[in-house]
Structure 1
């Protein structure tokens, strides 16, 4: 009887061990301090310490604050947030990447973040790609993470304005003057991408004044036609989520310099696909990849966790449209994004 029990138990134990797989590492959270020229860099990473519920701004995260880093797959992914953005709204994507062994770094973009949103748009877009490069440098200098990484093949993910950064790093060329030209041609149809959170069109008698004022400011500020471009040879794979893209020379994106994936949202009323992501796809397919298209997703669909209690214009921008099933859609999009980086960054 003992012999039978042992023989029965042993294969069952092996099967259970196989199905359960290795224990999931906690997600560590640390910050590389700001410098005289750059904001802080938030880092998520595999950690051997236990995670605890932790509040950051209005978000509760399950992380090991200053937890001991452990070796993962040796690769880094840099995430560029949207205008006025924060690292916390990309925590679920970071969790998916950390589970796969990646270290994830999120630079705070100067004058276009949740603490200081004084200068979004083309001025920020000009600075962001170099800020991503300096974030890679900062992680590479940090004694906690440098021994765990090889920085010859880095991944980069950007959403919204961060998607603009992603397209720049993929080889895209753009200029402030091209932004002006787009807004002069399609101001009413793509109003929010041209003016941001300042105001909106309501169909009322003030709309004409709003459009006149917007064109006056845009025409004055964004006349520089000098092409903006930035190359970092360490970046080997890029994902652009609902990117701002109307000001790019699409010929420059016809053959991305590295593997490029796109995520689109059909109900995005902020960066309307026909002016932005659809134009990129038309230019780069089949040399780029459509990672995910969300038929019912809006502009904020990739923010996970989403900011709670949003109202007014920012609520219109980021809250979910009717019919969007965030609980089922976002985990699958994050899985596909992680698989894209696995494919292009790992041996």
Structure 2
């Protein structure tokens, strides 16, 4: 066969492949729902999803996203990602990542944790409540939400940052040992988590917590997980799903090696591991808008020379690629 014939054959093959491939929605839809919680007030959930409606920029908390608010969902048998924010956050803390996932064909349900959010810190150190709430949101999305018929229940992933990073590890099978908290904080009383527990003491029976594990979670992204030191090798022995683990090189909130690095060392199999040069703890949050930079400078200010927006282009691509690879549809 001549070179010209080979090129022609290749062109035809690519054209047919493109014609045969299912088209993905080009934009992200967005809505806010309330998921009933049998143990408390309804949980507020931000939901991003694929659509083909025109999108426009929208501010959301400290940042923003480009979405078609209230637009119809497009697609079926879609994978679901549940998102857990850090201490004092809310569902929009990772809006750019949620948008990127929705544009790639995922439904994303990011909850605001009841009792641990920007407006309510009454259960800030009730860590066992977090994976329980995450499982409640999975129940809602698969069984009660308006999108339930379009979601594939066998393709569920979880994303978490900081306290949310802890949450998704526990939800995926991790059993933290909270008796380690006392010795850790005796040695490091100035660490953020130790100051938090000093001002908001954990429940009296926290060390005897029953942890909610959810076998529906098939892949996990954990960024800068809080209380990493509480996960021993035995405590992580059942976390066997594919895991993408992130650490900020200059994390002053959860300094190395007590958090992400300890989790990495104690996992039963090596995770996909990323260390972000020059990044601080809050650089995993969505890039800030002007209001965020003014009213939330502590979490919106990066180190000189670190470009959070540029980092997030790579971060979002890595997260999307990981979930695509590990939540692929069955043939």
TM bin, normalised by shorter chain, reads 0.7 to 0.9
Distance 1:250-1:272 versus aligned 2 partners, 3 A rule = farther
Distance 1:243-1:148 versus aligned 2 partners, 3 A rule = same
Q: Is the 8 A contact 2:29 2:70 kept in 1?
A: yes
Give the deviation of 1:22 after TM superposition: 5.8
Q: 2:124 aligns with which of 117, 120, 131?
A: 120
Measure, in 1, the Cα distance between the counterparts of 2:201 and 2:113.
25
Distance 1:135-1:46 versus aligned 2 partners, 3 A rule = same
Give the corresponding residue for 1:52: 56
Give the corresponding residue for 1:326: 308
Give the deviation of 1:70 after TM superposition: 0.6
Distance 1:23-1:35 versus aligned 2 partners, 3 A rule = closer
5+ residue gaps, structure 1, are: 1-10, 199-213
Greater helix percent: which structure?
Answer: 1
Which is greater in Rg? 1
Distance 1:228-1:295 versus aligned 2 partners, 3 A rule = farther
- 1:69-80 to 2 correspondences below 5 Å: 69-71=73-75, 74-80=78-84
Moved more, 48-57 or 330-339: 48-57
Distance 1:294-1:142 versus aligned 2 partners, 3 A rule = same
Give the corresponding residue for 2:321: 339
- 1:1-347 to 2 correspondences below 5 Å: 25-35=26-36, 37=40, 38-71=42-75, 74-121=78-125, 123=126, 125-142=127-144, 144-188=146-190, 191-196=191-196, 214=198, 224-226=206-208, 228-244=210-226, 245-254=228-237, 256-284=239-267, 286-290=269-273, 292-306=274-288, 308-309=292-293, 315-316=297-298, 319-346=301-328, 347=330
Render the CA deviation track for 1:252-302: whole Å, top value 9, x for unaligned: 225523112101101010011211011111112743221x21021100111
Render the CA deviation track for 1:103-147: whole Å, top value 9, x for unaligned: 0001111111123233312x1x11011111110111123453112
Q: Is the 8 A contact 1:33 1:41 kept in 2?
A: yes
Measure, in 1, the Cα distance between the counterparts of 2:67 and 2:254.
32
3-state SS in 1 of match to 2:31: strand
3-state SS in 2 of match to 1:257: coil
Greater strand percent: which structure?
Answer: 2
Distance 1:109-1:218 versus aligned 2 partners, 3 A rule = closer
Measure, in 1, the Cα distance between the counterparts of 2:70 and 2:63.
18
Q: Is the 8 A contact 2:43 2:112 kept in 1?
A: yes
3-state SS in 1 of match to 2:219: strand
Render the CA deviation track for 1:229-259: whole Å, top value 9, x for unaligned: 3221111001110110222234322552311
When the two chains are superposed, the root-mean-square deviation of aligned CA atoms in Å is 2.9
Render the CA deviation track for 1:63-107: whole Å, top value 9, x for unaligned: 111110111661100000111112222111012211220000011
Q: Is the 8 A contact 1:240 1:263 kept in 2?
A: yes
Measure, in 2, the Cα distance between the counterparts of 1:336 and 1:114.
28
3-state SS in 2 of match to 1:272: coil
Give the deviation of 1:169 after TM superposition: 1.7
TM-score norm. by structure 2 comes to: 0.83
Distance 1:103-1:153 versus aligned 2 partners, 3 A rule = same
Give the deviation of 1:176 after TM superposition: 3.6
TM-score norm. by structure 1 comes to: 0.79
Distance 1:266-1:73 versus aligned 2 partners, 3 A rule = farther
Give the corresponding residue for 1:206: none
Moved more, 111-120 or 269-278: 111-120
Measure, in 2, the Cα distance between the counterparts of 1:117 and 1:219.
11
Measure, in 2, the Cα distance between the counterparts of 1:161 and 1:326.
21
